[in-house]
Amino acid sequence: MSTFIQLHLLTSYPPANLNRDDLGRPKTAIMGGVQRIRISSQSLKRAWRTSEKFKEALNGHIGIRTKEMGVKVFKQLAGSGIKEKEAKEWAMSIATQFGKLKGKDKENPLQELEIEQLTHFSPEEKSSIDKLIQTLIKEKRGPKEDDLKLLRAEHKAADIALFGRMLASSPDKNTEAAAQVAHAITVHKVAVEDDYFTAVDDLNEKEEDMGAAHLGQTEFAAGLFYLYICVNRDLLVENLQGDENLAQKTLRALTEAAATIAPSGKQNSFASRAYSSYILAEKGVKQPRSLSVAFLKAVSGPDMLKEAISALNETRINMDKVYGKVSDDPCILNALNGEGELSKLLDFVSNPLEAKKG
């Protein structure tokens, strides 16, 4: 039976626009009959896996997600003295192994080397591609059939092991995600507000034109967000080829990133960086469950964080009463009252589940 790590985080962001919709507004959702602000799981996962914290913790085990691997191959070949026509043909032979290509475009001649679907390459695969490029340059020849077996079902890319990989053209090289990340959503009702702003020309001495040099408008909202993450620990270890030490590093990096890293949207305008104020971590073999129902009724009142923590814990306790405990001894970090330590939380999340005595 699998061991599940479940994280429940409460994070408060001041006025921000961390994750925009197609109109540039903060993303929203209706929950409990009222509008909430939402941060998509895709936005969160990208912020975490591209953060310096995550990269430093998992150096050498981070993949690259791109459509342009074929373009990169072409540029390396052409830049090393291979004739442009041959470089393009060879690059196309290699890129075709990663998925369907976009096709020709008169305005962008290299577009036909781009893959239609974003492909996540592990460090092992990227190394194999780089070695093949150097071989082709050295031997001045095109790739052979045996050279093109570049994708691998087995690798140690921590980000792919966590968040998965789907390759339509090579399903046997897919990786099932070990981590499930919910959309973060505010625990309370939120109204999106407008910010009307102006910019002044520093050289305008107001002799003729007293107006602003630029007028603009942006939208924002503030909120206390609930985020739920569930990791199948056994699947994570399996995805990492049984490397327990790397699995522990990955769990620590994911947890710390989730607690401290915000999406980059409009950060220069709002500086909306925040650490989680409350984290509840659970570890066990029972079927996991979100505690979002705690906020089906929107939290309100002057002490919103305290009320949200209370609602979360009351829901957990009541769920455990009727369904049984999913974690014998949960770990809690509460920045509101100074309870807990991040280092101990990371130890709890990363260490294997201890077998019950007797």
> Are residue 122 and residue 146 in the same domain, yes or no?
yes
Would you say residue 217 lies in a domain? Answer: no
Is 100 part of any domain?
A: yes
- Asked whether residue 233 is assigned to any structural domain, the reply reads yes
State whether 342 and 249 are in the same domain: yes
- What is the reported pLDDT for 210? 67
231 and 336, same structural domain?
yes
265 plus 293 within the same structural domain: yes
The list of the chain residues with pLDDT below 50 reads 358
Instruction: With respect to residue 340, please indicate whether it lies within any of the assigned structural domains.
Output: yes
Q: Is the pTM of this model over 0.95?
A: no
Q: Decide: 140 and 83 in contact? Cβ < 8 Å.
A: no
pLDDT the model gives residue 101:
95
Residues 6+ apart with CB under 8 A from 141: none
State which residues form the domain around 104: 65-156
Do residue 235 and residue 308 come from a single domain? yes
226 and 341: one domain?
A: yes
Q: What is the pLDDT of residue 221?
A: 92
38 and 103 co-located in one domain: no
pLDDT of residue 356: 59
Q: Is residue 114 part of a domain?
A: yes
**Residue labelled with tokens 């570049």:** 150
Task: Give phi and psi for 347, each to the nearest 5.
Answer: -65, -45
117 domain-assigned: yes
pLDDT at 239: 98
Query: 75 and 151: one domain?
Result: yes
Indicate whether 20 belongs to any domain: yes
Are residue 26 and residue 78 in the same domain, yes or no?
no
Query: How many domains does one find in the chain?
Result: 2
User: 127 with 30, same domain?
Assistant: no
Q: Is residue 308 part of a domain?
A: yes
Residues 52 and 37 in one domain: yes
Q: Is there a single domain that holds both residue 136 and residue 234?
A: no
